[in-house]
Amino acid sequence: WGSHYVTAYEIFLNNKLFGSGFKSFRYECRKDEYDFIKLNKKYNLNMIASGCSSHPHNLYIEVLSELGVTGLILFLLLLYYTILIPFIKNYKYIKNDTEILIVLSIIVTYIFPFRPSGSFSSSVFSTNLWFFIGFYLYFINQLKYKTKKIKE
């Protein structure tokens, strides 16, 4: 996947603010300026294959190359408000709820930045990620009812 990462990085460098466009990696990587022979010379690498694919195989690099810094910030804010804020607000109840901790650990493994991943927009990877985030938010919402029963 290294060649995909280098190609995506080059695409990002040419489109830093807004990226190259949603789901555009597969078209951008075919351009002559991203040829692996040129990238080998530029970075003194030894890539033996093209970095062209349907996606760069890393969630954050994909968002960065296709949506730029603006898209990455929005994506991180989305994760912050849907995962971290509910966790912080309900921490004292979550630490005793194994369902939420299991689903949260699955989500963390999905969004871990240093692992290869599927496409953000068109793969089973993304479907599963949003599926687990939905379960997480459901379980967080159910905490309200559990805490009411405990208080009564």
Torsion over CA of 103, 109, 113 and 115, rounded to 10 degrees? Answer: -150
> With 70 as the cut, is the pLDDT of residue 138 above it?
yes
CB of 77 closer than 8 Å to CB of 134: no
Quick check: 99 and 111 in contact, CB under 8 A? no
With a cut of 80, say whether residue 100 has pLDDT above it: yes
* Cα(119)–Cα(100) distance, integer angstroms: 25
Rounded to whole angstroms, the Cα distance separating 125 from 13 reads 26
Q: Which residue has the higher pLDDT, 124 or 60?
A: 60
pLDDT at residue 152 tops 70: no
- Per-residue pLDDT at 147: 62
Q: So what's the pLDDT on residue 146?
A: 67
pLDDT digits (tens, 9 = 90+) for 25-55: 888 888 888 888 888 888 888 877 787 888 8
Looking at residues 145-149, what average pLDDT do you find? 64
Residue with tokens 């309900």: 90
What pLDDT is attached to residue 74?
96
Stated pTM of the model: 0.84
